[in-house]
């Protein structure tokens, strides 16, 4: 009995020692151990964004840049443009097939998010590109393959085949607050990797007409052409967003830039790696933000929600009994207060699985069971939700 107890105590001692070694040298392993499995191997941080201050509360931008910059890459694209004469059958008869004209070049940025070589960038950076070259911060260059794109969020996933890759840690965008300091890292105007600083100016920006699904982080960190697809990081160097657009009258930074939250980017990444595309729900309605005037016109006492001005015949919503004039106030228990929220909530529904929609009519409140179909962006063109 004494011998068994001795063996047991020695085993426990060894396991505890191993745990402390791992917790000291690889804390990300310990933090990620209790999380659900992800399709793509990524490193995630659970430290809140408001815990980013350095000594005396002053953010340490130097450390953040040192941690994040190696994982931010430059993306060079080229697109061959056929010459006008080459498409003329008489030109081809006399001169034969001609070579294509010099390729148009494009510049952008991207972020390595997985040791397997997956890179997040913007769809508009690689859209219609014939060749894509990724340039790492350490000088290595390699061709990249497009794994999949999602134009409705303006995200794309690339893959490179290189070893010993620097990988950025994904942050918790839910912990971001207005006023938090952030850094934008990318390759503006092709001058080389550049780091700029600013703060989070606003959260949840939507209805900008940039993407179909909008939930932008707004920042005043300088973002310029070429920064698209680059990283927006907190002062620990963890990824908070993918820089995607600017508001500008001059073409350069005017202190209003927008980034796609990491939470959105990660869900798109997983979907594309798993299925090659992002599958979203669709119910076939024409929504409009409810205003007091519309509520009065339709004889509604409700002053919040999304009013349905049109229902697609034989669509999922029509089959469930929805009619023009209905006001959707919640989807599967999630409150919706505007069109953007309704679009995002419906898109998150799994096609083929019934969902409960709470609506308000002149006769009172009702609950409809709607079975969403698969959203087809090519057919919808942003019209029916």
- Of these residues, 109, 228, 253, 340, which one is catalytic? 228
Residue of 74, 114, 124, 340 with catalytic role: 124
In a domain, 249, yes or no: yes
Could you give the dihedral angle defined by the CA atoms of residues 60, 63, 68 and 72, in that order, rounded to the nearest 10 degrees?
A: 100
Residue 11: phi and psi, rounded to 5, are: -65, -45
Helix, strand, or coil (residue 306) = strand
Six-digit token string for 332:
């599967």
Which is it for strands 43-44 and 169-170: parallel, antiparallel or unpaired?
parallel
Q: DSSP for 260-304, please give it.
A: EEHHHHHHHHHHHHHHSS---EE--EEEEE--HHHHHHTT----S
- Alpha-carbon distance of 286 to 197, in angstroms, equals 41
Q: How confident is the model at residue 384 (pLDDT cuts 50, 70, 90)?
A: very low
3-state secondary structure of 350: coil
- Residue 40, domain member (yes or no): no
Residue 178's pLDDT is 94
Report the DSSP beta bridge partners of residue 368: 357
DSSP letter for 28, please. Answer: H
Residue 356 lies in a domain: yes
Does residue 7 form part of some domain? no
Same-domain check for residues 285 and 372 = yes
Q: Does residue 84 have a pLDDT over 80?
A: no
Residue 154 among the catalytic residues: yes
**Catalytic option among 154, 180, 220, 234:** 154
Whether 38 maps to a domain, the answer reads no
Give me the DSSP letters along 153-167: TTEEEEE---SS---
Mind giving me the DSSP string for 165-207?
Answer: ---PEE--GGG--TT-EEEEEE-GGGS--EEEEEEEEEEEE--
Residue predicted with more confidence, 171 or 19: 171
Q: What is the mean pLDDT of residues 330-353?
A: 87
In this predicted structure, the answer to whether residue 35 has a pLDDT above a threshold of 50 is: no
User: What does the alpha-carbon distance between residue 103 and residue 87 come to, in Å, rounded to a whole number?
Assistant: 17
- Give the pLDDT score at 30: 46
**Higher pLDDT pick, 82 / 119:** 119
The residue-averaged pLDDT of 10-16 equals: 62
CATH code of the domain covering residue 328: 2.30.42.10
Alpha-carbon span 246 to 257, nearest angstrom: 4
Would you call 124 a catalytic residue per the annotation?
A: yes
* Residues 308, 352 within the same domain: yes
Q: For residues 273 and 152, what is the distance between their CA atoms, to the nearest angstrom? A: 17
Task: Please check the confidence at residue 253 and state whether its pLDDT lies above 70.
Answer: no
Q: Tokens standing for 41?
A: 């191997």
Instruction: Answer yes or no: 50 catalytic.
Output: no
Task: In whole angstroms, give the CA distance from residue 36 to residue 349.
Answer: 20
Q: Nearest CA to 184 among 77, 61, 269?
A: 61
Same domain, 152 and 173: no
pLDDT higher than 70, residue 251: no
Pairing of strands 194-205, 101-112: unpaired
pLDDT higher at 136 or 248: 136
pLDDT at 304 over 70: yes
Q: Average of pLDDT values for 89-116?
A: 70
Is the domain of 103 the same as that of 143? yes
Q: Is the pLDDT of residue 157 over 60?
A: yes
Rounded Cα gap, residues 46 and 238, in angstroms? 10
Residue 50 is given by DSSP the state G
Considering the domain boundaries, does residue 210 fall inside one?
Answer: yes
In this prediction, residue 290 carries a pLDDT of 81
- The model's confidence at residue 376, banded by pLDDT at 50, 70 and 90, is confident
When pLDDT is cut at 50, 70 and 90, the band that residue 382 belongs to is very low
Q: Which domain holds residue 352?
A: 281-380
**Helices H / strands E in the chain, number of each:** 10, 23
Structure tokens at 84: 């006008």
The number of folded domains in the chain is 3
Tell whether 210 and 261 lie within a shared domain: yes
């Amino acid at each position: 009995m004494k011998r068994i107890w001795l063996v047991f105590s020695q085993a426990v001692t060894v396991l505890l020692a191993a745990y402390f070694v791992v917790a000291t040298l690889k804390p990300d392993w310990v933090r990620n151990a209790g999380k659900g499995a992800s399709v793509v191997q990524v490193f995630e941080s659970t430290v809140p964004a408001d815990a980013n201050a350095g000594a005396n509360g002053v953010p340490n931008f130097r450390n953040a840049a040192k941690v994040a910059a190696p994982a931010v890459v430059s993306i060079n694209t080229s697109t061959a443009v056929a010459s006008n004469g080459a498409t003329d059958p008489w030109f081809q008869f006399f001169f034969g097939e001609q070579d294509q004209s010099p390729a148009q070049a494009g510049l952008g940025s991207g972020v390595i998010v997985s040791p397997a070589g997956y890179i997040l960038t913007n769809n508009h950076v690689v859209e219609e590109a014939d060749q894509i070259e990724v340039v790492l911060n350490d000088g290595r260059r390699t061709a990249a393959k497009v794994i999949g794109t999602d134009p409705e969020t303006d995200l794309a996933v690339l893959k490179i085949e290189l070893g010993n890759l620097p990988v950025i840690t994904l942050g918790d965008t839910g912990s971001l607050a207005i006023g938090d300091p952030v850094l934008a890292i990318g390759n503006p105007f092709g001058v080389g990797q550049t780091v700029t600083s600013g703060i989070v100016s606003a959260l949840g920006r939507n209805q900008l007409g940039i993407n179909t699904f909008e939930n932008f982080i707004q920042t005043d960190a300088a973002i310029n052409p070429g920064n698209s697809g680059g990283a927006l990081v907190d002062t620990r160097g963890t990824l908070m967003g993918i820089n995607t657009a600017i508001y500008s009258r001059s073409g350069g930074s005017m202190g209003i830039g927008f980034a796609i939250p990491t939470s959105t980017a990660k869900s798109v990444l997983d979907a594309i790696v798993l299925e090659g595309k992002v599958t979203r729900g669709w119910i076939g309605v024409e929504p409009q933000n409810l205003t007091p005037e519309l509520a009065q016109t339709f004889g509604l006492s409700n002053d919040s929600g999304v009013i349905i001005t049109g229902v697609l015949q034989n669509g999922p919503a029509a089959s469930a009994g929805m009619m023009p004039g209905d006001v959707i106030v919640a989807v599967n228990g999630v409150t919706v207060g505007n069109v953007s929220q309704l679009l995002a909530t419906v898109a998150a529904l799994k096609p083929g699985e019934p969902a409960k929609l709470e609506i308000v009519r002149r006769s009172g409140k009702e609950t409809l069971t709607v079975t969403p179909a698969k959203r087809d962006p090519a057919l919808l063109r942003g019209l029916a939700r």
